Amino acid sequence: MTGSASVAGSAVPTRPEALSAPPRPAFSHDWRRIARIGAIAALGQMFIALSNMPVRLDERLVVKPVLSLGYLVLLFLPVAVGYRHGHQTVREGVPVSRPGLHEVVGGFSCGLLAGGGLSVLAVLLAHFDLREPLVNWSPILLDLLAFGNNTWFAAVIWLVIGAGLGAAGGAVRLLGPVSRRAVVTMALAVAGAAVLESLVVDLAEGMGLEALADRLYARRGGVNWNSALGLAGVCGVLAVIGRGRLRHARLRHAELQGTKRTRANAALIALTAAALIVLPLFAGKLTNELLANVGLFVLLALGLNVVVGLAGILDLGYVAFFAVGSYCAAVLTAATSPRITPEMPWLVALVVVVVITGLVGLFIGAPVIRMRGDYLAIVTLGFGEIIRLLFLSDWLSGWFGGAQGITKIPAAGIFGLTEVSGTDPRRVFYLVLVFCALAVYVSWRLERSRLGRAWMAVREDETVAEAMGINTVNVKLMAFVVGAVLGSFSGAIFAAKVGSVFPASFLILVSIVILVVVIFGGMGNIVGVIAGAAVLIGVLGGPKQPGLLVEFSEFKLLIYGALLIWMMLARPAGLIPSVRRTRELHQHEMAQDAWLQGQVDDEDEGKEARSSTAAARR
Amino acid sequence: MTDVPTPAAPGAGCALLQTRRLSVDFGGLHALDQLSFEVRESEIVSVIGPNGAGKTTLFNAITATVEASAGDIVFEGQSLLGLDPNRVTQRGIARTFQNVRLFANMSVLENVMVSQHCRTKQHAFGALLYTRAFRREEAEIRRRAEEILGFFGTRLIGYRMDQPAFTLSYANRRRLEIARAMATQPKLILLDEPVAGMNPVESAELTGLIGRLRDEWGFAIVVIEHDMGVVREVSDRVVVLDHGVKIAEGDYADVASDPQVIEAYLGQGTGGK
């Protein structure tokens, strides 16, 4: 860990120091760029409006009398493009203009166009009927856009709102770093408090702070107008006080070496573990349910991470192992299982489940693993579906109950100490936590072993790995089996938690979601994968499990898609990228940076210089 | 053309590697045509020939990357035909690649450590339980890797060990490829154009290194090389291929003066570089 991390520390490109130039003139613009940004934003606004999000979410108040979630989703895009317009690429040696009126005017124009999208939409809504292809083309939407007034009011008001918000977005660039941080924190705090209302209330109840929650939120949902101001104020002040602290701490941590770093890491892990153990005690049922769901997906994502992130096998049918784990646990523990009813205790069943899933991993893996790249992905996709269809089929319905599945699966007993079932999500969470810890340990240990190195080599270049004496088939099979076993843990817990298993719980969508979690979080990085699961499953929700943003569950896949696209553009290596992935994606830039920094690896010339830098690095 | 000398009977002398009437066809093209040659223990053999003569195909056939259409490859008295490439490596044949193929995103040290895979045996459970045997083996793998990297002087050790392989200079990448081949603990190393793209100083140094590989580590070595200076310097014997056929064999001086070779390889009327 320490070795590779210190390399990353030196290899990560540092942002070149920006030279500053006088502000650009207010009205001299690249109008084509503005038109492009504005047009994209306008289309985006229309798309959001027609996706029915505003109408569906209109009833959910964010700030008591003034703002609903429905309007909020229409407001953020103009601000975003207004801000984005002022972006300047920082290049070494090229001066960056100080922000000025130019940014505000540009933001204004972009926002105007973005708002114009809704104006056009309002007019179109009033004069044409396109309900046939666009199901959300409705007078209700028009009414919402017009704030209850007539069409022309809608057309004008959205131009005004768009331009105003765009200008505001551009104006954010005028603020100094401190005030900008404060403003952003304030906005995020209010939005967060409003959107995460259910979580905050639930936690507040657990900690006996109902009074505070009552004060913050209006009776029928939404943050009170005055408490929103209060919250914003407090957070703004906190942001100013705490500015840079976090970043400093992180930098200091990154600089630590050797045992100090190990110790710091251990302390961090201990703190996180303590928080995870203590938190559920204060959380209500709702939050614990959520945590348990996140945990199940963390477990799945960690399993898939071994296959995809470490060994580089793109497995699109990972849900198969989740399904096999669930069904095995169900058959072995439930008294209502159609054919055999061993009614084993859950822990005993788990051992059998692990063995069987491992064998299924071998069975599926053996034919699949000889393929490479895209072919392998397609075949795994097929196997994922085959497994589900087998459980659904009439042929095996005598064993697994076909479409009816297996119901009344008993709670998971742990050494007779306690029973874990879906009715008490807190216990489920603790059980999941134990297995997550196990999965983290397994991934962490294996990555730094002979097997882990072989996985890496296979990921890098299979032909060469084979030529270097690695039995690539065996090694890849191992990855498949380890992934399968980790997935089966999740399945076995899932069966006990939900109390029933149906083929419909194991749709291909689950595979995709898990893969998205891994990619979004950061392939090959344990912390990244956990963060990815927390963000996607915790905030947005899993394929069938509600997340924190319950209101958005209908639009979950839309948001997933948008997030994934944004992620691939902005941070292709994921939320918390693994050092190696970053290297793979930025090889050339890093090599160039190393060259610029004088760590040139040219032969013979400058040998002295090099050995002196080498000495300096110790 | 087909004056192929019949190879020595199996077991005769101390031939480490023998190809017996080895042919490789790609469709209608005979990349190798009934090639017979042998490498004895601790011997350095150069394989030369113009582009497309089948030199790299010979390496690929020996390491089982391509399938032989006819003939046999015998290593230490046992046939290599039908083995997977990793089994061939395990038997004791390592290779480098003409177009340097390192594990670019793994560190220099890891590149060498991972190449000891077939000589080590700790499995997942050892790693999970963090057994003593596991730790001992890890330490041993690391020690060996550092020892091998140390063979190249100060170039690949020190801070550079922990840097990803793609940060290395071209010459160092070639050195790391050789280090990686050494790490598989082979008896025979196949070097595919080890000095291609190097400057004269570097290639002179590497030439010395190839000699030391044999003298200090006891490897038998087959070198494919275009640089005649290097060939003259290192080889005990030179094998000349043209269109998949062996047209000459012998020490450098003999081969260089062979009219057939001069015509096929060195061009009309010139005598060496």
Pairing mode, if any, of strands A61-63 and A412-414? Answer: unpaired
Nearest to A470 among B94, B117, B134 (CB): B117
What chain A residue is nearest to B97 in terms of C-alpha separation?
A: A464
Pick the more confident residue, A350 or A207: A350
DSSP state of A406: B
Q: What are the structure tokens assigned to B244, written together?
A: 């998949």
Q: What are the structure tokens assigned to B131, written together?
A: 């057994």
Instruction: Decide if B32 is inside a domain.
Output: no
pLDDT at A282 over 90: no
pTM of the model: 0.85
| CB distance A475 to B118 below 8 Å | no
Q: Which residues of chain A does B100 touch, with a Cβ-Cβ cutoff of 8 Å?
A: none
| CB distance A25 to A100 below 8 Å | no
With CB atoms and an 8 Å threshold, state whether A449 touches B122.
yes
Instruction: Decide if B6 is inside a domain.
Output: no
What chain A residue is nearest to B202 in terms of C-alpha separation?
A: A603
CA distance B234 to chain A (A): 23
With CB atoms and an 8 Å threshold, state whether B97 touches A452.
no
- The three-class DSSP label of residue A382 is helix
| CB distance B148 to B175 below 8 Å | no
| CB distance A142 to A154 below 8 Å | yes
pLDDT at A466 over 50: yes
Instruction: Decide if B43 is inside a domain.
Output: yes
Query: Which element (helix H / strand E) includes A96?
Result: strand A96-97
Pick the more confident residue, A307 or B270: A307
Q: Which of B60, B86, B116 to mutate to probe the A interface, most A CBs <10 Å? A: B86
Q: Which residues of chain B does A439 touch, with a Cβ-Cβ cutoff of 8 Å?
A: none
- How many helical (H) and strand (E) elements, i.e. helices and strands, does chain A have? 27, 6
Instruction: Report the C-alpha dihedral over residues A371, A373, A375, A380, rounded to 10 degrees.
Output: 80
Q: Which residues of chain A does B65 touch, with a Cβ-Cβ cutoff of 8 Å?
A: 463, 467
Domain carrying residue B86: 39-266
Task: Give the Cα separation of A169 and A78 in Å (integer).
Answer: 8
Nearest to B86 among A3, A453, A470 (CB): A470
Count of other CB atoms within 10 angstroms of residue A536: 27
With CB atoms and an 8 Å threshold, state whether B89 touches A454.
no
**What pLDDT score was predicted for residue B52?**
85
A213-239 core/surface letters (b: 16 or more CB in 10 A; e: else): beebbbeebbbbeebbeebbeebbeeb
Task: Give the Cα separation of A545 and A291 in Å (integer).
Answer: 11
- Would you place residue A215 in the very low, low, confident or very high pLDDT band (cuts 50, 70, 90)? confident
User: Residue type at A458?
Assistant: V
Residue pLDDT, tens place only, A157-214: 999 999 999 999 999 888 877 888 888 888 888 888 887 887 888 888 877 777 777 7
Q: Which CATH number characterizes residue B149's domain? A: 3.40.50.300
Q: Which residues of chain A does B84 touch, with a Cβ-Cβ cutoff of 8 Å?
A: 466, 471
Q: Which residues of chain B does A577 touch, with a Cβ-Cβ cutoff of 8 Å?
A: none
Backbone angles phi, psi at B44, to 5 degrees: -110, 115
Lowest mean pLDDT among A88-97, A164-173, A442-451, A530-539: A88-97
Nearest to B114 among A457, A466, A482 (CB): A457
With CB atoms and an 8 Å threshold, state whether B115 touches A583.
no
**What contacts B126, CB < 8 A, 6 or more positions away?**
A449, B133, B134, B137
pLDDT at A115 over 90: yes
Task: Give the Cα separation of B213 and B208 in Å (integer).
Answer: 9
Which range has highest mean pLDDT (A256-260, A405-409, A590-594, B263-267)?
A405-409
DSSP state of A394: S
Task: Give the Cα separation of B56 and B37 in Å (integer).
Answer: 15
Query: What is the Cβ-side half-sphere exposure of residue A354, based on CA atoms within 13 angstroms?
Result: 9
**What pLDDT score was predicted for residue A601?**
55
B115-150 core/surface letters (b: 16 or more CB in 10 A; e: else): bbbbbeebebebbbeeeeebeebbeebeebbeebbe
Q: Which residues of chain B does A446 touch, with a Cβ-Cβ cutoff of 8 Å?
A: 124, 127-128
Nearest to B105 among A454, A467, A584 (CB): A584
Q: Give B244-256 as a DSSP string.
A: TEEEEEE-HHHHH
Q: Computed over its alpha carbons, how large is the radius of gyration of chain B?
A: 19
Instruction: Report the C-alpha dihedral over residues A244, A247, A253, A254, rounded to 10 degrees.
Output: -130
Q: Which residues of chain A does B115 touch, with a Cβ-Cβ cutoff of 8 Å?
A: 468-469
Q: Which residues of chain B does A451 touch, with a Cβ-Cβ cutoff of 8 Å?
A: 123-124, 127
Residue pLDDT, tens place only, A388-441: 999 999 888 888 888 888 988 888 888 877 777 778 888 999 999 999 999 999
pLDDT at A608 over 50: no
With CB atoms and an 8 Å threshold, state whether B130 touches A445.
yes
pLDDT at A12 over 60: no
Q: Which residues of chain B does A604 touch, with a Cβ-Cβ cutoff of 8 Å?
A: 201
Nearest to A457 among B103, B123, B158 (CB): B103
Helix orientation angle between A69-85 and A151-172, rounded to the nearest 10 degrees: 50
What chain A residue is nearest to B111 in terms of C-alpha separation?
A: A457
Q: How far is CA A363 from CA A358, A370, A387, in A?
A: 9, 13, 12
CA distance A449 to chain B (A): 6
Instruction: Decide if B21 is inside a domain.
Output: no
Backbone angles phi, psi at A569, to 5 degrees: -80, -45
Q: Which residues of chain B does A453 touch, with a Cβ-Cβ cutoff of 8 Å?
A: 106, 110, 113-114, 117
**What pLDDT score was predicted for residue A385?**
93
**What pLDDT score was predicted for residue A36?**
93
Indicate if the alpha-carbon torsion angle B48, B50, B53, B55 is positive or negative. positive
The alpha-helical segments, DSSP class H, found in B188-234 are 200-217, 228-234
Q: Which of B103, B121, B130, B175 to mutate to probe the A interface, most A CBs <10 Å? A: B103
Pairing mode, if any, of strands B78-79 and B70-75? Answer: antiparallel
With CB atoms and an 8 Å threshold, state whether A454 touches B86.
no
**Average pLDDT per block of 10 residues along chain B, 273 residues long:** 42 75 90 91 91 90 92 92 92 92 92 92 86 92 94 86 87 92 94 90 90 92 91 92 90 88 68 44
**What pLDDT score was predicted for residue A609?**
41
CA distance B237 to chain A (A): 26
What chain A residue is nearest to B160 in terms of C-alpha separation?
A: A614
Instruction: Decide if B109 is inside a domain.
Output: yes
Q: Long-range contacts: A577-582, Cβ < 8 Å, 24+?
A: A577/A522, A577/A525, A577/A528, A578/A309, A578/A522, A578/A523, A578/A524, A578/A525, A578/A528, A579/A4, A579/A5, A579/A7, A579/A8, A580/A4, A580/A456, A580/A524, A580/B105, A581/A309, A581/A522, A581/A523, A581/A524, A581/A525, A582/A8, A582/A12
**What contacts A443, CB < 8 A, 6 or more positions away?**
A302, A305, A306, A310, A526
Residue (of A108, A110, A111, A114) closest to A42 by Cα position: A114
- Number of domain units in chain B: 1
How would you write B145-159 as a 3-class SS string? HHHHHHCCCCCCCHH
- The three-class DSSP label of residue B15 is strand
Instruction: Decide if B89 is inside a domain.
Output: yes
- Would you place residue A39 in the very low, low, confident or very high pLDDT band (cuts 50, 70, 90)? very high
Q: What does the angle CA A96 – CA A102 – CA A105 come to, to the nearest 5 degrees?
A: 145
Backbone angle region of A6, left / alpha / beta, with phi > 0 → left and psi within -120 to 50 → alpha: alpha
Mean pLDDT calculated for residue range A545-574: 84
With CB atoms and an 8 Å threshold, state whether A583 touches B130.
no
Q: Which of A10, A450, A473, A523 to mutate to probe the B interface, most B CBs <10 Å? A: A450
Q: Which residues of chain A does B104 touch, with a Cβ-Cβ cutoff of 8 Å?
A: 460, 587
